[in-house]
Structure 1
Amino acid sequence: MLSRTADHLFWMARYMERAENTARLLDVNYQAALLPQSSEAALQGWKGLLSISELLGQYSSRFETINATDVTTFMVSDPNNPSSILCCLKAARENARAVRGALTTEVWETMNHTWLEFNRLLKTNALQKDPADLFEWVKFRSHLSRGVTLGTMLQDESFHFQRIGTFLERADNTARLLDVKFHGLDTEFFGSGAGNETKEVDFYHWSAVLRSVSAFEIYRKVYRNVIRPEKVAELLILRADMPRSLLASMNEVVTNLRAVANDHSDETIRRAGRLRADLQYGRIDEIMATGLHAYLTQFLDRVSDLGFGVSRDFLMPSN
């Protein structure tokens, strides 16, 4: 496969996954804003959302204050924010158009219709009328694009590069979410001496984290107990049967990297396998003891390094 074609397929999938992840985070913050909370807690929620996406600096340079309306508009429909849902869906559609011949008709039509319909929804003020409904629509279209890809495309190199893009993006996003939600929390979150009021706040906090990655019902099924921070971390880091966990994502990355291996990719595959092995044989008590923030920061660095490796080995034109 031409590296140019692989590059378009890889980024098409990454941008679609990024749009979904942004919709998930916005939806959780929107729902949390409807609950009784202090203005400071609300501010920290929206600030944390910008921090997850590494957009706090860009936002602050354009807006004087952090508030729900401005952050939502900035993250959904701002054409000058490359990470907005609008820009992600546009980039996904443009990458798909560039490699139209490598996609099935169903995949192309799904990507194209998603972009056109999203623009129509914005023009009808869908974001102002019902933000939650718009976020659900974005998530559904992302699910649909993956389902159509899985159900109609030959599982050749085109398919594998899309999967690599999807799951690298998913691993990155899940790690960022966990890092922001855990980093800076008081040690009382991990103790058992908190009062009833604090425990109630904790429940809503961790429920929101789980719902942002469609893991609330999964947590209840797996642990059958109250929501505890260390169990949330275990589920989203080390559980191979949790679809959006770090381990599940890296399992997909390694499998699909091996399927497209070439003469230059041994080191990238080795690093991906090493990262997957560290997750596969990791223990949450050891991770917590050594520091979750440091662990996730290192994970994000290693995922970024894998992204560069994939670009170097497969996506950049050979000289």
Structure 2
Amino acid sequence: MPSTKGKEKVVTIDGPAGEELDIHPHPDAASGSNFGSDSDSDSASDSNSESDSSSSESDSESDLDEETTKKFLATLLERARKNAAARLLSRDAPKHLAADDEEDVIVLDSDEPQKDKPLPPLDPGTLPSPYIELGSSRKSGPSAVRDIDTELVQQANPSLDTPAPPSVPPELTNTGKRLTKKERKALKNTTAGPDWFDLPAPAEAELPRLYREVEALRLRNQLDPKRFYRKDEGEGKGIKGLPKHFAIGTIVPTSTPFGTDSGDNLSRSSRKRTLVDELVDDAEAKSYAKKKFKDLQSVRGARGRGTLAQRKAARRLKW
């Protein structure tokens, strides 16, 4: 560092926002330099011992001054860099805003419909069940509130919600006694079960009457020449070939307002009591049955009574 006699060197650096920084060298450094210059001027008149002591003192003081000036310059350089960075930020920011202020941007949706924005789906998907369960009408009773904690416990332990089923009560007769094993088996066979809509088994006393109806159904191949049906399993076995569970129903007439007659319903006189009577009364079935009867009679008549002479004449040789 150059030394000046009786003068201090001043360095000015611009700080942030027009601040000026004055750098003054350490006062000890100036006094040391002056002391060195005085010792140099007086060295000619003083003795050699005094010059040596003064030179050693000046060297130590100059080393201390150099260290302090280096630290001071380093701090000034760091402050200058910070000021330069602050200036660059202030240039990029808008002029009407301060360095520490922030601009709030509020965007409002326009009232005009956006064409590119897709419409939300109408189906919301599976929704959770509501907490309040309302009745179907006002008279159904008060509304119920669901307890979610209780439902979660019931889902975790389903055995708590569903108690053990009660034991089946024993079947009793009309007199109040328990049914025997044979009676329970007979009672079980009275119907075909819930899978077949509890189709009943007819009583044994009704089997001869029902056999005619079932046999007429089995002979339906002979009633219509244009329809062919598969052969029934019990066909040709008589009453023993009847199915175990079956029923024959009647067509219920359609109800009309005020009980008036309708074209869809048959009159009372035209209704038949049995299925065989219905088939016999049918015109098409009657004509076809009459035709088949004539064919059978012609075949039987060709081999019947009074045909022996004709058969012998047919066997004679013709010359």
TM-score range, shorter chain: under 0.3
| More helix as a share of residues | 1
Larger Rg: 2
Give the TM-score normalised by structure 2. 0.16
Q: Provide the TM-score with structure 1 as the length reference.
A: 0.16
